Structure 1
């Protein structure tokens, strides 16, 4: 098993062992830091995710009418983005993650102000450890999305000094945990 795969398994196990009350509290604190970050306060269209397997839950933000929210659908090896508002129908996709209806309006790259990226872990240089499917690696490497600001969303225990990095990995612009909002490259 690769170093990344071992680390992924260990961190996911640790995340899923967080008691629900603690997970809710950490998610709420993370959401608070995110809401007051300059990248989000200046944004209009935000790509986000629905919490899965005890990822930090950002759903309290989704009712804020200031934002247009986009969520992904996994289609083949790509993420397609659709706008979604609370109350609109969702369905479970191929990985058991909630997705907007395929007929909902699409969100184009040039409309997006920031992407909230789910991660298993992030490091101080902005590199992320994902779930191993490569969906976000492909997205963030494409010319259409390369300049869109990204915020890695991760609990503090998985914000590590350094992760194993592959040549195709792209660093995120900033990281948000329940303890802080950190812009990569800033002191």
Structure 2
């Protein structure tokens, strides 16, 4: 394991442990602030197709429940990822309702039936993460699913992160893909 890889893993473990300590009330309040900031951006308001992760709320990811509802109500097309763990890839599926989702064998909400969409059709991609830095670098969960996906699209790449996990600099490796925008409960950063 490279030094950068080791530093990333150590930071990931620290951040994820700290994130689990956030109270339900604080997590919900901060998530709402982040989602509200995102929905007030011009790029979101102009987007026709928004790809977003479905938050793993038990792991205290920034909650995207309200975002998914808003995209659906606003007449935009909502696309969610479907994970292929064997291939290490993501497939992308349009959903028309929250009821289109069910838990997969890892407890992650994914579409019951996949309605595939091409990456070129995406305007904005909302990306999960453990941490980020002000230069647009993202610390993911270590499997590379999003880095492989983000390398194939020109869509605007937006990361949602709690301010406590927004650093001046995080370790990176050559295959890590940068984000265009980072949104915390306190600020919107164009990287």
Q: Does 1:59 align with 2:70?
A: no
Question: Residue 69 of structure 2 contacts residue 98 of structure 2 at CA under 8 Å; is this kept in 1?
Answer: no
More helix by share: 2
Q: Alignment partner of 1:88: what SS?
A: helix
Taking the aligned partners of 1:133 and 1:111, their CA distance within structure 2 comes to 25
Q: Alignment partner of 1:171: what SS?
A: coil
- The superposition leaves residues 8-63 of structure 1 with CA deviations (integer Å, 9 ceiling, x where unpaired) of 00000111100000000000111110011122111111010111111011211222
Structure 1: state its 5+ residue gaps.
none
Query: Offset of 1:85 from its aligned partner?
Result: 2.6
| TM-score after normalising by structure 1 | 0.91
Taking the aligned partners of 1:89 and 1:43, their CA distance within structure 2 comes to 22
Task: Choose 85-94 or 133-142, whichever is displaced more.
Answer: 85-94
Q: Does 1:107 align with 2:111?
A: no
Alignment of 1:37-186 (within 5 A): 37-52=41-56, 53-64=59-70, 65-66=73-74, 67-75=76-84, 76-101=87-112, 103-142=113-152, 145=153, 147-184=154-191
Task: Choose 122-131 or 81-90, whichever is displaced more.
Answer: 81-90
Question: Residue 133 of structure 2 contacts residue 166 of structure 2 at CA under 8 Å; is this kept in 1?
Answer: yes
| CA RMSD between the two structures | 1.4
Query: Offset of 1:94 from its aligned partner?
Result: 4.6
| TM-score after normalising by structure 2 | 0.89
Taking the aligned partners of 1:85 and 1:63, their CA distance within structure 2 comes to 10
Query: Offset of 1:140 from its aligned partner?
Result: 1.2
